[in-house]
Structure 1
């Protein structure tokens, strides 16, 4: 299998990348990023500050499936418009291009709170990208909806760090859908969905992404 991975430098994305490169059935990974990744014989890493500038028939040539782990925060992005660019525009732009070039499988990391009808910006954007990805027409579409993601990030997110700490303390009494979802577990679900390419639209919910 040859995989196109979006968001390979992020917390979940770097776990997907490591697992994919280690998997014997993955022959190659194309991972466009804004910063260069560590080289690997299976990895092709186009680099640009503007990921959409990397879109071409060449980038999807021979690709069997796409895993999209792109995501940011409004604080890091700097504005709602910049957030929407990362969490909505880029995933859909790559999805439509991949579909046009014959890719039939797409996996998206979304969020447990995704809700297209929400009055709150973040869950609404997550819901909108889910909705519009379903309209692209992929033979196999899997939407992974984690709760708070556990793992070491390259950047500090104070509010998220506090929430993760509290969720760790109260994990024994919290329902599974509110527990921390470890990044490697989410990554494994993404890779499994991409390689399995089960026909139809599928959701992997937070309660199924908890470490046993």
Structure 2
């Protein structure tokens, strides 16, 4: 078994599940700490080598769990939706504040790298609130001093089996899947992708 250690934030989400499962199969890793808001459902993860160490925490006091960030690689898959958050301030707390604190803790504990999920079209000057928050977060993390090898993945719409129902997103994916064959050149980046592809990209960014 390998010697690398990792911490995964947001391990119960679509990409988070795919990521943890890929890390469990990756011989380079021997321990995967998952900080979660609710207990993990064991049948969502294939962990024959017993690498996963889950811990249910209070995300409003993330700084109290700083010691768990003493790992090689930090993966942050935290994210919500406007509908689930209920307000712009609640959305920003999850998608900006929590992720930003994770980056600060990774820096404080001298993690070798930090990778998180942003969004295609992220832009701090966007008129779209969602994309503006994502862009502001990219600016905040990528300019953070003494945080080595920080990188964001910018996926378009994600395909996969979600635990929550998102009818608008589902329709968007169906439309994009239908026109994907003609989405070439600059448009190719907007093709919907599977969560497993995003998870694999995150791992490749860590293992530079």
Q: Same fold (TM over 0.5)?
A: yes
Corresponding residue SS for 2:152: strand
2:189 equivalent among 177, 184, 195: 177
**Cα distance in 2 for residues equivalent to 1:57 and 1:118:** 33
Instruction: For 1:51-130, list aligned pairs within 5 A.
Output: 52-53=61-62, 55-61=64-70, 63-130=71-138
- Native 8 Å contact 1:12 1:183 kept in 2: yes
Corresponding residue SS for 2:207: helix
**Cα distance in 2 for residues equivalent to 1:104 and 1:124:** 28
- Native 8 Å contact 1:64 1:104 kept in 2: yes
- Native 8 Å contact 1:107 1:193 kept in 2: yes
Name the counterpart of 2:175.
166
**Cα distance in 2 for residues equivalent to 1:173 and 1:16:** 29
**Structure 1 unaligned spans of 5+:** 197-212
Instruction: For 1:134-173, list aligned pairs within 5 A.
Output: 134-137=142-145, 138-173=147-182
**Cα distance in 1 for residues equivalent to 2:196 and 2:62:** 29
**Cα distance in 2 for residues equivalent to 1:25 and 1:101:** 21
**Cα distance in 2 for residues equivalent to 1:85 and 1:106:** 19
1:182-207, Cα deviation, whole Å (9 max, x unpaired): 110110000111122xxxxxxxxxxx
Q: Is 1:191 matched up with 2:203? A: yes
**Structure 2 unaligned spans of 5+:** none
**Cα distance in 1 for residues equivalent to 2:96 and 2:168:** 23
Please report how far the alpha carbon of residue 104 of structure 1 lies from its aligned counterpart in structure 2 after TM superposition: 2.8
Q: CA RMSD in A?
A: 1.5
Please report how far the alpha carbon of residue 55 of structure 1 lies from its aligned counterpart in structure 2 after TM superposition: 3.5
Runs of 4+ in 1 over 4 A off after TM superposition: none
Name the counterpart of 2:24.
21
- Native 8 Å contact 1:52 1:90 kept in 2: no
- Native 8 Å contact 2:76 2:102 kept in 1: no
Name the counterpart of 2:33.
30
